Structures are given as C-alpha cells and as structure tokens.
Structure 1
C-alpha cells in the first residue's frame, strides 16, 4: 500500500490587540495590549517556530469591555514587523473602511518594511455593529461584491508599472499607482466563510480558505463545496483551520488546565464557553484526522 506524503502543517498564532491573560472570559484583560507586551508575544512566537501571526481588525475591543484599550491593526503590525525577522504577518482588512488605492500603498509599504512577510485576511463581515459605527451600511451580498473588486483592484495596482484606471461597479480608480510594489509575488490572500458568496470569492481570488473547528463531517462537507468553487476557476484549494489546543502530558491534566482557564470567567461567558456537544472536544488523534482531511 502506497502512503500519501502530505505537507507538514503550518502553525500560526495571533497578536492579542484586545489584551491577553492566563484566563478567558474575564471582563478586563489581565495584560493590556501595550506595545512592549505585544513585542514579547511576537518575538516568542518567532523564536518557537510559528509560521505566521494573525492580526485582527476592529474598531472597539472585541474580547473585553468595549471601552478597554485596543491596539490599532496596521500601525501595530508595522511596528512589530520592524522588531522581527522571520515570522509572517496575516493582517486582517475589511474592505470599505479605507480607500482601496491608499490601502494598496499601505500594504506595499508593509511588504517592503518586512521583506515580504505580509499576507492578507480579507474580512467582508466582522463584528456586528462595526460597519454601522463608522457610518457604513451594506448587506451581505454588497460586502462580498466590494471585497471582490477590492482584491482585483489591489492585485492590478501591484502589477502595473505605470498609473492605471480601474472601473468596477463599486470601486473606481483613475490614474492610480503603487511604487514600490510588494516584495516578490506579493501577499497571499486568506478568507474565512461558509456562505455561497464566501466560497465563490475564495474560489476566484483567495489562496487559502479558513475554517472554524467543527465535527469532521461538517468540515468535509464545507471542503467539498470549497474545492468545487476552486476547481471551477482552475485553481487549487488550500485550507486552514482555527482551534484552541490545550497540551499537557495527560488528558486529566489537560482538563485541569481547561477548568483553570475558565476559573475567573464572567458567568455568561463561561456558560457560552462550555460547549454542549462532545463532538467539539477532540483528542490528538482526531486532530490528526483533520490534518489528513485538509491536505487531501
């Protein structure tokens, strides 16, 4: 029987721009998101061999009290790139909050500062109320239409050696240009979602579809739908999956650690954190099955 050689998984972490701590579900962060603390996080991730760091994007604190400190995404990411050497940055961006031409310049500058260590997490959705907070009102379909043009316009700007025009249904650029352009082939695009709009956009433009952890049968069903979209566009699908992993020598020690994580949680948050379905509590063997599935 011939064994299938699968690529080794890449492990990412995230930059806690909302704050951090040893417990989850607390009202306030045990460690505020100061630059000094975030620098320690990214340098520790780099030293231990992580591939990349996700930097979320939002306009108020999404993990703790709404008025709690929040480190702004792009300025924080750029500063952290300057104090690291190898680790990549997966920076989230929501089309509609900044002009595409200006954003393409910002991303290109980041790519050059970091020597090409930039990838993009395109986020057509996001936290409820963030769009309205900044005066933007659009529905699900409109946000994906904007995201499609946002990616198209950015890619064209980065490839054009001279000023160019772009005329979409939503985005229009006149004699726009970016110089210098991003390092190498430019950023890779990541997208999370399971709607038809999300899978269509992923198949057309994304390099990686991101998924939440869920029962294996549901992951397999989503992946088949995604693969169909990629195949229709003559592109190869690549997948990433997000989950939290507690690693201890024994299962009982892992459960003790899980209980400690929730030991200071707000009552409502703790109730939501305790999942009703055991299908979402996985052993290492099940995680290996997921790796097998997403690399088939």
Structure 2
C-alpha cells in the first residue's frame, strides 16, 4: 500500500523520464565547462533522441536564463524529430501573457499530437526579485486561466494579477482532453496549496525516504481538503554501472576536478538558487557521511555544482532497481532521471535498468490522449 492515496493507485508501471540539459548543465567533469557539451540545439536534441531510443517515456525540458535553449522553442523543434517520447516543458508563470500561453501550449500539444506535459514553475524572472506570495498567486491565476482555456468555451477570470472577460477559447483548445497534465514542484505552503488544488503530479527532489514520506503526506493532506488526490514524482540523478564499486568510482570521477568555489557560483546563478527546496538540498549535503551519502545509495556530491536537484542514486543495476521499486511502493508514479554526461548516462540506464522496468505514459494512463484527431478547431473540428 502506498504511503498516501494516489490518483494512479492501480497503475503497475511508472513514467520513467530523462532530462534535456537545455541550461548549460552538461559536463564530463562537474564544474569544468566542455565546449562539446554546450547546450546547443544539436547537442540537446541528440539527448532527446537518445532518450527516446532508450525507451524513456518523457523528458524534462527545463527553463532558466542560461546560455542554452529556450524551452518552448526547443519543444517545438523536437516535435518533428520524435515519435513516442513525451516532452515535459517547464513554464515559468508570468513570462508570457496567460491567454497567449494557453494558445502556445495548445499549438505545441497539436504539433506533438498529445505528447506534451507541462511543468509549472514559479521562480523569479531574470534581474527581478518578487515576493513568494505574489509569485505563487500569479502562478495560481495562470493555471486557472489555462484550465479555463482548455475546458470551457470562454475565459472569465477576475483575480489579483489578471482580469479577462468573455474571451473565446477556440484558439487555445488543446489536442489532449482537458489539456496537458500539470507537474509541479515547490515546498512553501503557497506552493503546496496551489499544487493540491490544480496540478496532477507533485514533483520532489531527492531526500532521505522518511523526508519524502513527510512531504507526500503534507501535499496529500492539502489535496484531500479539496477532495482530490495526486500522483507523485521524483527528480533524481542517476549513476548505474554493472557493479556498485564501478558506480561509486564514477561518482568520485565526475567531481574529481571540481573547484568548490566555482561550484558555488554555478549554484548561485540559477533562478531558484534561494528557494526553500534548494535549501533542503543543501541540508542533504550537511547531514551526509564523509563520502557524501545521505542513504546507502543516495549521493549528494552532484549538489556541489548545481542548484535544484542535488543528489544521485548510485549503484549496480540490481541496487538501483531495488531503490526504484521502493519508491514505487511509496506511491511514486513518475521518475525524472539524469546523469553526466546526459547522452551517455541515458544509454547506461537504458542498457542496464530499462529492460527490467514496466513503463507508461501518464497522459495515456489518465486517458488524456485521443485515439484520433480531436474535434478541436485546429484538428478535426469545425473551422469557424
């Protein structure tokens, strides 16, 4: 039995996803920039194609003000070069006017024929600092407007940040029934409330399992107040090899040239560098053992040179499978893995672990993806 009720309680599979390093976040040695691994279209699209070939069902396309790829532009570019993999587009609420954002997402959803998922984020804009309460209120209103655009004939919204009256939703009708699934991560009370009321999958960064259980319980309690359940996801790095010794040796290898001062600069340039979630990742490093492990197979060394998700599962294929199965029993239904370098580590995981996992697409499991072109104005519906 899962630690809290989940939406996909009867699902005997997991959405196993990879990560597209769009934001200058691919290295052979952490903290040592390598021109061959820059976040160019050529390199990042190769990561996506590799992930699809290895059987990953989704791939997170992050957003940040770094040298790299604009998220929604990149997702659009991936539509004609992929066939099966979903794309999880990170959308920082407020960057685009909400009505036009709804239309943009609907366009992408049609281009991908239902393979779009959306990661709602609420971090600061470049060069701007806003109070957390305002940022989450803005995100709440954006999500409410998106949902109206995707499920109603008109948008009528009167909020603290946005106000719209009587706008037709024809230009924003999505390919998927009800629109793309919304994935969300956040640790503040306002974040938990927003996710509990409006989102589908609550994403967490790695922590000791008892902390993850507590986090799931906190979100579930809020969702239950709204008469809802959620699914839960874990974003964690991955180092898997034929043996545990080889995996741990590789973990040491990728930080062997890291200058900690430069690693700090990398962490601090991220737009989420001062968030509550990032502070929890720093706490993991503080309580880890002398080798950086906070659990026998959860290594915090990655967090020395990146903001956000700051720990990796490290072990043999059998050990990693056991960890994944333990998370699934807790109620985790979505995993977003990554590794350095991203293309090569996707291949390691694909060879060693993927054949032993039963995977799924959550939008398909939710019944969001129609079997034929939907009756939308952009697909098979009446053109008005």
Give the TM-score normalised by structure 1. Answer: 0.86
What do residues 51-98 of structure 1 show as CA deviations (whole Å, max 9, x unaligned)?
Answer: 111111112x2xxxxxxx321111111101221111111111111211
Q: In 1, Cα distance between the equivalents of 2:163 and 2:35?
A: 42
Which of the pair has the greater relative contact order for Cα pairs under 8 Å at 6+ separation? 2
> What does residue range 44-55 of structure 1 map to in structure 2 within 5 Å?
44-55=50-61
Contact 1:213 1:280 in 2 (8 A): no
> What does residue range 1-296 of structure 1 map to in structure 2 within 5 Å?
7-19=12-24, 20-28=26-34, 30-59=36-65, 61=66, 69-125=67-123, 130-131=124-125, 133=127, 136-161=128-153, 163-178=154-169, 179=171, 181-185=173-177, 186-268=179-261, 275-276=285-286, 277=288, 278-282=293-297, 283-284=319-320, 285-295=322-332
Contact 1:22 1:30 in 2 (8 A): no
Contact 2:285 2:294 in 1 (8 A): no
Contact 2:23 2:64 in 1 (8 A): no
- Whichever structure has more strand as a proportion of its residues is 2
Structure 1 residues 180 and 18, CA, compared in 2 at 3 Å: closer, same or farther? Answer: closer
CA RMSD of aligned residues (A): 2.4
Structure 1 residues 268 and 294, CA, compared in 2 at 3 Å: closer, same or farther? Answer: farther
What do residues 230-261 of structure 1 show as CA deviations (whole Å, max 9, x unaligned)?
Answer: 11111122100011121111111111111221
Contact 2:23 2:62 in 1 (8 A): no
Equivalent pairs, count = 278
After TM superposition, the structure 1 stretch with the greater mean CA deviation from structure 2, 278-287 or 245-254, is 278-287
Instruction: Give the gaps of 5 or more residues in structure 1.
Output: 62-68
Contact 1:21 1:30 in 2 (8 A): no
Q: In 1, Cα distance between the equivalents of 2:195 and 2:332?
A: 17
Give the TM-score normalised by structure 2. Answer: 0.67
What do residues 98-133 of structure 1 show as CA deviations (whole Å, max 9, x unaligned)?
Answer: 1101111110100011101111111112xxxx5252
Q: In 2, Cα distance between the equivalents of 1:25 and 1:112?
A: 38
Q: In 2, Cα distance between the equivalents of 1:28 and 1:21?
A: 7
Contact 1:190 1:207 in 2 (8 A): yes
